[in-house]
Amino acid sequence: MYTNQRQTNETKELRRLGGRWLKERRERAGLSQRQLAEILGVEYYTFISQIETGHGRIPPDRYAAWAEAIRVDLSDFVREILRYYDPVTFAILFDKSEDEDSTSQSSRQNATHDMTVLTKELQDLQEQVHELQRLLGKKTMELEQMRETLKHGGESSSERQDGRRLNAKGRRPNGRKIPVSAVAASLDT
């Protein structure tokens, strides 16, 4: 949450959500990333993209300029940005009002729980993707081995290395064809 603090998954998710909110507000204002960058005096419009994807944050001394550019009241803008950039300060300032009813507190607790569940689900999906990538790599390697074996008339790579070559008709030097079972067996090695 702070510039020198290592980002946790929760922090990254909050930044991403904050970026999504900023993007929605920019689009409501009818601005492209380039146009917003020009209004803000930002040299590279990719900075806007980094903010909107959660890979950066708006410096506090630029809040007023951003609020004006995307046509949001400054107080509302700062409140919303704090929700994503500094949730501890946000909770101190806005979540602890004494006139708050239990329904809104319950809603926030549910939202926090939902975010925790979503973060866990995201981690599980990332693990599943990693496992699928591993399996795909393994199957791709097996397919390449099979293609290589078929290309050389059923010889396994060990047979080719041993010098047992096929003649022009795709037969072994003793004249026998290579049985399909030999091709399959060579894939098991």
pLDDT (tens place) for every residue of the chain, 189 residues total: 444 455 588 888 999 999 999 999 999 999 999 999 999 999 888 999 999 999 989 999 999 999 999 999 999 999 999 999 998 888 888 876 544 555 566 566 667 767 777 777 778 788 888 888 888 888 888 888 888 888 877 655 555 554 455 555 555 556 566 566 665 565 655
| Residue 184 belongs to some domain of the structure | yes
Residue 97 is encoded by which pair of tokens?
A: 């009002």
Whether 86 and 120 map to the same domain: the answer is no
Structure tokens, 8? 């946790």
Last residue of a domain, one of 98, 123, 145: 98
Which domain covers residue 21, as residue numbers? 9-98
Q: Is residue 87 domain-resident?
A: yes
- 70 lies in a domain? yes
Whole-structure pTM over 0.75, yes or no?
no
Do the Cβ atoms of 29 and 77 come closer than 8 Å?
A: no
Find the Cα–Cα–Cα–Cα dihedral 1, 129, 122, 82, rounded to 10°. Answer: 30
Same domain, 72 and 40: yes
Domain match, 13 and 94 both: yes
Q: Specify the number of domains making up the chain.
A: 2
Q: Do both 127 and 180 map to the same domain?
A: yes
Shared-domain flag, residues 21 and 94: yes
Count of residues in the chain: 189
Whether 129 and 176 share a structural domain: yes
**Beta carbons of 84 and 53 less than 8 angstroms apart:** no
Same domain for 93 and 14? yes
How many CB atoms lie under 10 A from the CB of residue 21? 17
Q: H-type helices in the chain, by residue range?
A: 9-28, 33-40, 46-52, 63-69, 74-85, 87-90, 102-151, 157-161, 180-188
Residues 82 and 19 in one domain: yes
In a domain, 176, yes or no: yes
